[in-house]
């Protein structure tokens, strides 16, 4: 655990007592702070009381008297669609609002390790895990935390020569008061969490803040969308500026530092000259164009950390992949079963549909804003769609024409029907293009149900 510095003898409130909130409370107490804890759910409050924290309703009049800072968990709205009442109370009382990411950076001190922060709409988990794998395979001591795995304050205090890899969501980058990463990575941008950020512009602004206020030494920017091009242009000072590394799954021109993966071939260019190349197409842990983009981003970050092309390539080939992200879980009678439950939005699902051919596609769930029309260009790869979810009929209607559809509602039925109709060479793919909360607690539970249903096939 990393003890939080700067609050010894002070009173700090923690709002939200999930993984990050409880870790922050423990780290604050370890650093000598008095912690007041609150969660809207009784389960969280009971857990805090069991660990000896004082539980206090932070919305109550006078509850913030003597409090210097409020630490807010990522899941709690702090501005849109409406601030939590406790946050409004903090504003009124003049109490600073921060999160565990801000506490992490302010607690590192002068002998801080190198820190790589990775954000974006899709691919940030894979990019983070892949970079961590590359560093570990190269013999470096690396820590993986943030929006993936452990809470950022839950890792052991890193040494000066260590590398900390943090996956950060827009919820985390938007609120952190202290952001001092060495390297920042922006994978891509597609519409997501729009209610939480009052639209796409607010969503991008939350991501951009990591770069604009973080002031990294190096920035790895995916430039396949206009937002990435805009961000790269804002950060560069000249056409040849090695502080910015552009990443694309297409062709890039110009004299700067670039890493591309056109048609599955990763190529690194510097000052107009190719310095390395790797064929990604036969790497089982990185299937499809979207994973090739992730590989480019991780490659660029590893190169910025001083690793050589050969050791990075070797690590790419040994990467096992992440659960629920293009995860190949079984092959039965020539039919491959792939779990991409993390494809919770249209952009992620479209990437999954481009990664395979002859797809028996399991999709559906809690549909997000923006509709499903962007998936239609990829229906040529889909033999049939099997729709799950409590609103499966509406989801199927929104898919429109161009693909055969069967309403299955539940996972077991969808897996059974897809497996029964699949032919050798087909891929049964779970890529929901929707959130899981209509039927599951999270996308992990949905993926686990898919795996269990596949295992239960005769």
- Over the stretch 389-406, which tens digit does the pLDDT of each residue have? 999 999 999 998 889 999
Same domain, 80 and 170: no
Q: HEC string of the chain?
A: CCCCCCCCCCEEEEECCCHHHHHHHHHHHHCCCEEEEECCCHHHHHHHHHCCCEECCCCCCCCCCCEEEEEECCCCCCCCCCCCHHHHHHHHHCCEEECHHHHHHHHCCCCCCEEEEEECCCCHHHHHHHHHHHHHHCCCCEEEEECCCECHHHCCCCCCCCEEEEECCHHHHHHCCCCCCCEEEECCCCCCCHHHHCCHHHHHHHHHHHHHCCCCCEEEEECCCHHHHHHHHHHCCCCCCCCEEEEECCCCCCCCEEEEEECCEEEEEECCEEEEEEECCCCCCCCHHHHHHHHHHHHHHHHHCCCCHHHHHHHHHCCCCCCCCCEEEEEECCEEEEECCCCCCHHHHHHHHHHCCCEEEEECCECCCCCCHHHHHHHHHEEEEEEECCCHHHHHHHHCCCCCEEEEECHHHHHHHHHHHCCCCCEEEECCCCECCCCCCCHHHHHHHHHHHHHCCC
pLDDT tens digit sequence for 51-90: 999 999 999 999 999 999 999 999 899 999 999 999 999 9
Share of the chain above pLDDT 90, in %: 85
Provide mean pLDDT across the span 298-309: 97
Q: How many residues does the chain have?
A: 458
Q: Percent of the chain beyond pLDDT 70?
A: 99
pLDDT at position 8 is 96
Domain of 39, CATH number, reads 3.40.50.720
Q: Is residue 125 annotated as involved in ligand binding? A: yes
Q: Are residues 349 and 446 in the same domain?
A: yes
Residues 157-202: tens digit of each pLDDT = 999 899 999 999 999 999 999 999 999 999 999 888 889 999 999 9
Residues 274 and 396 in one domain: no
171 inside domain = yes
Residues 406 and 437 in one domain: yes
Q: How far apart are CA 93 and CA 65, in angstroms?
A: 8
- Residue 388 above 80 pLDDT? yes
Please give the residue range of the domain that contains residue 269.
Answer: 105-317
Contacts by residues 32-36 (CB-CB < 8 Å, ≥ 24 positions apart): 32/3, 32/7, 32/8, 33/4, 33/7, 33/8, 33/9, 34/9, 34/10, 35/11, 36/11, 36/12, 36/63, 36/67
What pLDDT is recorded for position 347?
87
The per-residue pLDDT for 369 is 76
- Strand pairing partners for 37? 14, 55
Indicate if 148 and 273 belong to the same structural domain: yes
| Furthest CA-CA distance within the chain | 67
Residue 126 assigned ligand-binding role: yes
Domain end residue (candidates: 277, 298, 317)? 317
Whether residues 225 and 83 fall in one domain: no
Which of 98, 127, 157 is at the close of a domain?
98
Q: Give the model's pLDDT for residue 110.
A: 64
pLDDT of residue 183: 97
| Pair 454, 362: CB distance under 8 Å | no
The answer to whether residue 1 is domain-embedded is: no
Query: Is residue 2 included in any domain, yes or no?
Result: no
Instruction: Dump pLDDT digits (tens) for 246-303.
Output: 999 999 988 899 999 999 999 999 988 999 999 999 898 898 888 999 999 999 999 9
What pTM was estimated for this model as a whole? 0.85
Residue 4 located in a structural domain: no
61 assigned ligand-binding residue: no
**Residue 123 annotated as lining a ligand binding site:** yes
Domain count, the chain: 3
Task: Determine whether the annotation assigns residue 120 to a binding site.
Answer: yes
Q: If pLDDT is split at 50, 70 and 90, which confidence band does 214 have?
A: confident
Per-residue pLDDT, 171: 94
**What are 333-374's pLDDT values in tens digits?**
999 999 999 999 898 899 899 989 999 999 999 988 778 988
């Amino acid at each position: 655990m990393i003890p939080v510095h700067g609050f010894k003898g002070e009173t700090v409130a923690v709002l939200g007592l999930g993984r990050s909130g409880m870790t922050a409370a423990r780290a604050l107490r370890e650093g000598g702070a008095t912690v007041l804890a609150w969660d809207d759910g009784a389960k969280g409050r009971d857990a805090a009381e069991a660990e000896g924290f004082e539980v206090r309703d932070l919305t109550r009049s006078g509850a913030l008297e003597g409090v210097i800072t409020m630490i807010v968990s990522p899941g709690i709205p702090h501005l849109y669609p409406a601030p939590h009442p406790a946050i409004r109370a903090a504003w009124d009382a003049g109490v600073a609002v921060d999160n565990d990411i801000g506490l992490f950076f302010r607690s590192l001190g002068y002998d801080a390790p190198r820190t790589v922060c990775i954000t974006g709409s899709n691919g940030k988990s894979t990019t983070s895990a892949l970079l961590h794998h590359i560093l570990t395979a190269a013999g470096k001591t690396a820590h993986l935390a943030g929006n993936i795995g452990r809470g950022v304050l839950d890792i052991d205090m890193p040494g000066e020569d260590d590398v900390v890899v943090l996956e950060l969501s827009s919820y985390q980058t938007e609120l952190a008061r202290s952001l001092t990463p060495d390297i920042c990575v922006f994978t891509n941008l597609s519409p997501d969490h729009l209610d939480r950020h009052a639209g796409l512009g607010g969503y991008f602004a939350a991501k951009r803040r990591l770069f604009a206020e973080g002031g990294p030494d190096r920035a790895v920017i995916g430039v396949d969308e206009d937002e990435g091009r805009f961000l790269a242009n804002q950060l560069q000072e000249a056409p040849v500026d090695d502080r910015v590394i552009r990443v694309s799954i297409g062709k890039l021109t110009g004299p700067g530092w670039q890493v591309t993966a056109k048609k599955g071939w990763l190529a690194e260019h510097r000052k107009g000259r190719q310095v390395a190349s790797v064929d990604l197409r036969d790497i089982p842990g990185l299937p499809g164009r979207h994973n090739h983009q992730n590989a480019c981003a991780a490659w660029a970050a590893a190169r910025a950390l001083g690793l050589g092309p050969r050791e990075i390539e070797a690590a790419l080939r040994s990467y096992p992949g992440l659960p629920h992200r293009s995860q190949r879980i079984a092959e039965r009678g020539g039919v491959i079963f792939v779990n991409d439950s993390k494809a919770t939005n249209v952009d992620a699902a479209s990437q999954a549909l481009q990664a395979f051919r002859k797809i028996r596609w399991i999709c559906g769930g809690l549909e997000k804003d923006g509709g499903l029309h962007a998936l239609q260009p990829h229906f040529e790869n889909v033999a049939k769609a099997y729709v799950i979810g409590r609103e499966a009929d509406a989801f199927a209607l929104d898919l429109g024409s161009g693909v055969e559809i069967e309403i299955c509602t539940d996972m077991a039925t969808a897996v059974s029907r897809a497996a029964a109709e699949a032919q050798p060479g087909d891929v049964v793919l779970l890529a929901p293009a929707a959130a899981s909360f209509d039927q599951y607690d999270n996308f992990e539970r949905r993926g686990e149900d898919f795996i269990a249903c596949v295992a239960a096939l005769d």
